[in-house]
Amino acid sequence: MAAPADNLLVATQVRKEFGGLVASNDIDFAIPRGSIVALIGPNGAGKTTFFNQITGVYVPTSGSIMFDGVEVVGKPPHAIVELGIGRTFQNIRLFAQMTAVENVQVGMHCRLRGGIFGSILHTPRVKREERESRERARELLTYCGLPRRHEEYAGTLPYGDQRRLEAARALATDPKLLLLDEPTAGMNPQETADFTDFVRRARDDKGLTVLLIEHDMKVVMGVSEHVTVLEYGAKIAEGSPAEIQANERVIEAYLGKGAAA
């Protein structure tokens, strides 16, 4: 595959079985540092399952996932966040009972120190940390396209703002690798274009690496530098967007046999 580049994430022979169903079929996958990579494939290809294994929600049946030199398999999700992987969810999973700012603050949880004693006693250090975290949360929200509505409850925000909030919350975890699961689902073309700009900007401004699951080919072609294609849990192709677009196997996977023109 790629030359011995500096790979932030290296997944080796990752396999996930649910009973008799093989959801991830010995996947080998590497993400170069600083790149924007897209993971695509027809529905049911196992993209979210793969995400979930990177973030520790699922434990692979076998295989290894090395993140920045550290083995991630077997670690609980919160430890993986601490290592520097943040994510959004396919179906938005905001904390509806908390305001936008509070949602972002939860994202900062592992980067803050305020413990139980400091909180009860309201020590100056905790007080300051809380104030600073609120300010930083506001900044992040504004950066992600939410300059207002910070004190509104997440459940009451319109769909587009909820997506932005999800992104802000993920960025709050201060990640090296940002996983975006179908981030443009339900967006109109303008919002989608804004979003692809945002992804590029965030990568450049914050020194991120981005892995996104996408169905919208314009986004894939427009923003990603590498594309990996899954089908039925197995990797069937990878390369640059242009290469993938012309790849017969990929076209077949999406449109069925005989569709490769």
Partner 1 sequence: MTRLRSLSLIDAIGLVLLAVLALYLAKEFVGDPSRFINVSIIGLTNGAIYGLVALGYTLVYGILQLINFAHGDVFALSGLVASTIIVSVFGLDESTGVLVILVGLAATLAITIPAFALLNGSIERVAYKPLRHAPRLAPLITAVGVSFVIQNVSLAIYGVDFESVPNFIPRTDAIRIGDIVIPWNKLAVFAIVIPVLLILTWFVRSTRQGKAMRAVSQDTEASAMMGIDVNRTISVTFFLAGALAAVAGLVYLLQFNMRYDTGFELGLIAFTAAVLGGIGNLTGAVLGAFIIGLVQALNEGLDGTPGSDWTRSLVFGILIAILVFRPQGILGEQTPEGA
Partner 2 sequence: MSTQGDVRPGVRSRVQRTWLLIGGLLVLGIVYPLIVDSLKSLPLIGDFVPRTDSMVTILIGVMMALGLNMVVGYAGLLDLGYVAFYAAGAYTAGWLASQQFSQVTVHFGSTVSPDLSGIHLSMWLILILAGVFTTIVGILIGLPTLRLRGDYLAIVTLGFGEIVPQFVRNADSIKGFDLTNGTFGIAPIDSLGIGGFVFREQSNKQDLYYWTAIGLLLLTIFASVRLRDSRLGRAWIAIREDETAAAAMGVPLMRTKTWAYAMGAFIGGVAGAFLASFRAGAFPADFYFNFSIFLLCMVVLGGMGSIWGVLVGGLILGYLNIEGLATIGSKVQQGGLDFDPTKYQFGIYGVIIVLMMLFRPTGLIPERRHKIEVAEGVHDTPFYDVQLEGTLTDRDQSDD
Contacting positions for partner 1 (CB under 8 A): 18, 56-59, 74, 76-77
Q: Which one of partner 2, partner 1, none interacts with residue 251, CB within 5 to 8 A by kind?
A: none
Least CB distance from residue 59 to partner 1, whole Å?
Answer: 6
Compare residues 73 and 144 and give the one whose CB is closer to partner 1. Answer: 73
Terminal CA-to-CA distance of the chain, rounded, Å? 27
198-187-51-69 Cα dihedral, nearest 10 degrees: 0
**Distance set, CA 86 to CA 79, 101, 126 (Å):** 11, 17, 24
144-183 residues in contact with partner 2 (CB under 8 A) are 147-153, 155, 169-170, 172-173
Taking Cα atoms as reference points, which of 99, 204, 222, 86 lies closest to residue 143? 204
Provide the 3-class DSSP secondary structure of residue 94. Answer: coil
- Single out the residue of 66, 98, 221, 251 in contact with partner 2 (rule: CB under 8 A): 98
Compare residues 132 and 243 and give the one whose CB is closer to partner 2. Answer: 132
- Single out the residue of 116, 124, 258, 261 in contact with partner 2 (rule: CB under 8 A): 116
Contacts of 76 (CB under 8 A, 6+ apart): 56
Provide the 3-class DSSP secondary structure of residue 193. Answer: helix
Compare residues 49 and 99 and give the one whose CB is closer to partner 1. Answer: 49
Helix axes 124-143, 100-107, angle to 10 degrees: 110
Compare residues 102 and 214 and give the one whose CB is closer to partner 2. Answer: 102
Compare residues 59 and 260 and give the one whose CB is closer to partner 1. Answer: 59
Told to check if 93 binds partner 2 by CB under 8 A, we report: yes
Beta bridge partners of 85: 177
Compare residues 93 and 206 and give the one whose CB is closer to partner 2. Answer: 93
DSSP conformation class of 111: G
Beta strands in the chain, from DSSP E residues, in sequence order: 7-18, 21-32, 36-40, 62-67, 70-71, 85-87, 177-181, 209-213, 226-231, 234-239
Phi-psi region of 46 (alpha: psi -120 to 50; beta: other; left: phi over 0): left
Least CB distance from residue 77 to partner 1, whole Å?
Answer: 8
Q: Are 50 and 58 in contact (CB under 8 A)?
A: no
Q: Which one of partner 2, partner 1, none interacts with residue 125, CB within 5 to 8 A by kind?
A: none
Q: Are 146 and 168 in contact (CB under 8 A)?
A: yes
Q: Which one of partner 1, partner 2, none interacts with residue 58, CB within 5 to 8 A by kind?
A: partner 1
- Single out the residue of 2, 5, 71, 119 in contact with partner 2 (rule: CB under 8 A): 119
Compare residues 71 and 139 and give the one whose CB is closer to partner 2. Answer: 139
120-139 residues in contact with partner 2 (CB under 8 A) are 120-122, 126, 129-131, 133-134
Sites of contact with partner 2 (CB under 8 A): 55-57, 76-79, 81-82, 86-87, 89, 93-98, 102, 105-107, 109-112, 114-116, 119-122, 126, 129-131, 133-134, 147-153, 155, 169-170, 172-173
